[in-house]
Amino acid sequence: MTSTDLPAAPAPGMLEAALYAGDLDAAERFYGGVLGLERIVRVGVRHVFYRVGGGVLLIFNPSETCKPPGNADLPVPPHGARGPGHFCFAVEGAALDDWRARLEAAGVEIEADFQWPNGARSIYFRDPAGNSLEMAEPRLWAR
């Protein structure tokens, strides 16, 4: 079956994305402290969630989310990933220098800072769990 064989449906939007980190305390220090994101909720050693623009960044402990759901009212299937993931924050070009300075002041190594062929700029760095994070100008994906 191909997509042309399926009934039409409106294009979905992005609501949330997940990264995985075994040390949620370190994740909180980084995402809440260094990046200054608004924490929505933390549940023990299982997860911590942050508001990012109109969406949510979910940070899960993979050792906990692989377990079957313990609450019948929230039957979220087990899931998880091992190894570094990737997440990209949308940052307007003028603010990328400010973010680079903030990250470097916090001791975060900038792994790459470059212009894409369409002229958009990205900076890459890592969180304490080794996830690859990017801050890029939204025009990177402009049509």
Write out the DSSP string of 42-99: EETTTEEEEEETTEEEEEE-HHHHTSPPS-TTS-PPP----S--EEEEE--HHHHHHH
Q: Among 127, 131, 128, which residue's Cα sits nearest to residue 83?
A: 131
DSSP 107: T
pLDDT band with cut points at 50, 70 and 90 for residue 140: very high
User: What per-residue confidence (pLDDT) applies to 68?
Assistant: 83
Mean pLDDT rounded to a whole number for the chain = 92
Q: What is the pLDDT of residues 8-44, one digit of tens each?
A: 888 777 889 999 999 999 999 999 999 999 999 999 9
User: Over 90: is that where the pLDDT of 118 sits?
Assistant: yes
pLDDT band with cut points at 50, 70 and 90 for residue 141: very high
User: Over 80: is that where the pLDDT of 2 sits?
Assistant: no
Give me the CATH code for the 14-65+84-141 domain, please. Answer: 3.10.180.10
Do 61 and 20 touch, CB atoms closer than 8 A? Answer: yes
Residue 93's DSSP bridge partners are: none
DSSP 3: G
Q: What is the pLDDT of residues 71-98, one digit of tens each?
A: 778 788 888 888 899 999 999 988 999 9
- Going from N- to C-terminal start, the domains of the chain cover 14-65+84-141
132-136 sheet: strands from edge to edge: 86-90, 132-136, 121-126, 112-115
